[in-house]
Amino acid sequence: MAATGMRVAERAHPVAPGNGMQDVPGMAQAADVPDGLWYAVKRRVLGPPLVTEQLRNERLSGPLALGVLSCDGLSSAAYGTEEILYALLPFFGLAAFTLVLPMTLLVLAGVVLVVLSYREVVSVYTRAGGSYVVARENFGPRVAQVAALVYALIRLNRQYRKEAAILEDLSGSDPQPHPLNYSRRVVLLLIDGLDLATIAALRYARSLRPSTLRAVHFTLDSARADKLRKQWLDAGVRVPLDLADCPDRRLSHAVAQLAAAEAAPAGTHVTVILPRRSYSPLAGRLLHDHTADRIVRRVSRVHGASAMIIPFDVRHRVDTLHARRAGQAAGLRDYERPVPPDSSDPIGSLRPTARATVQGRLRAAEVRPARNNTMLACEVADSTGDLTALFYGRTHITGLEPGRQIRLHGVVGIRGDGRPIMFNPRYELLR
């Protein structure tokens, strides 16, 4: 590990910043991120969280889990009155409020009906799916899909209204940001595996030019953590990898604690980067659990810390890679590398400091900067190899276009990569 310039650190708890810094007074208090009100109430009612080792003894049986986890019908009817009122206000105005009580009674009657019939529903519809399965079996798949779509649009509309109200409040306050100068910038890259998304996020993290850059993996599965550590060492990534313990599986809280500990010293700013793989809309609904969104919200509340998500479009990258490979294969097949005639020297047999005559097809031409001047670089190829011809002081040669055959006469040189090169050769344009 020392030879590759890497280190893998295992931590039972988030610790103080690296780079040999000592513990700063008050860092323990800064790293103690307060819990939210909902978590405090949940812990008071349900008790402290279980550690990972205790989960195998806390599983629900099939019938009990079906009754406990299939109550989405009750939650769906909880906001019916409000949504009906939103729909009636544009047509009836304030008179719609007189219908609140009848609508509430109607919703309550629906809840009572659901409660009374839920036992029979559970016994008959044993497959997962909740209300959607019930609607599909009784009214058909189209009606069930329309109902599910309406439910999703209602929830989405409410979320948009809440976010719009928050943005209006922020824009009305007209804050005046003050630029801050930080003497130390720490970037923490949260990783769950070593793949293309992680590599893309790592490149972005390096582009920030931080004082300290570390990759952090919170260990929820020891076998997976060991596999990631081996992959990280085998890949030769010159970024430290920290394996941090998260016994209660409260990932967002653990990340916030780590960010608070790193941001405790004065003049320090912490940026938490989370790579996220984006898929097609349908696959994204199935594969994403929005853990990264919860982590960003939690870290954003920590003073001196910020978080950002680096998306990685898997589908687009795969399609681009396939298209590039197909294009390269088609280009190599379709591009004609002419066989050199007997009157010319094959490019593959050229030797340095010797005069030669080569004939091939011009593949590319570009203008490159040179010292106090410019030069035109032309790539010429035949069936035996490639050659670069450099014309100093030229930016364009009439008739010299890609695809044109050309004959060159001059002294051959060899570049560091072994490819032949000619400087200001005499040229003859062919067909």
pLDDT of residue 80: 63
pLDDT for 329-375, tens place per residue?
555 554 567 888 888 999 988 888 889 999 998 888 888 887 778 88
CATH architecture of 182-316: 3-Layer(aba) Sandwich (3.40)
DSSP per-residue letters across 355-386? EEEEEEEEEEEEEEEETTEEEEEEEEEETTEE
Q: Structure pTM?
A: 0.43
Please, what is the end-to-end C-alpha distance for the chain in angstroms? Answer: 59
Buried b (16+ CB within 10 A) or exposed e, 62-73: eeeeeeeebeeb
pLDDT for 276-300, tens place per residue?
877 666 655 555 557 888 898 999 9
Mean pLDDT taken over the chain? 77
pLDDT of residue 216: 93
- DSSP state, 39? H
Cα–Cα distance measured from residue 376 to residue 398, given in angstroms and rounded to the nearest whole number: 12
Confidence category of residue 417, pLDDT binned at 50, 70, 90: confident
What's the average model confidence in pLDDT over 186-203? 89
Does the pLDDT of residue 173 top 80, yes or no?
no
Judge: domain 347-429, CATH 3.80.10.10.
no
Does the pLDDT of residue 27 top 80, yes or no?
no
Q: Give 35 or 377, the one with higher predicted confidence.
A: 377
pLDDT of residue 6: 47
Least confident of 141-155, 157-171, 172-186, 239-253: 172-186
User: CA Rg, the chain, in Å?
Assistant: 33
Does the pLDDT of residue 273 top 90, yes or no?
yes
Q: Give 203 or 34, the one with higher predicted confidence.
A: 203
Q: Which ranges constitute the DSSP H helices of 70-195?
A: 72-76, 80-92, 100-124, 131-139, 141-173
Does the pLDDT of residue 81 top 50, yes or no?
yes
Confidence category of residue 12, pLDDT binned at 50, 70, 90: very low
Helix axes 80-92, 100-124, angle to 10 degrees: 140
- What are the boundaries of each domain within the chain? 62-173, 182-316, 347-429
Structure tokens at 179: 């630029």
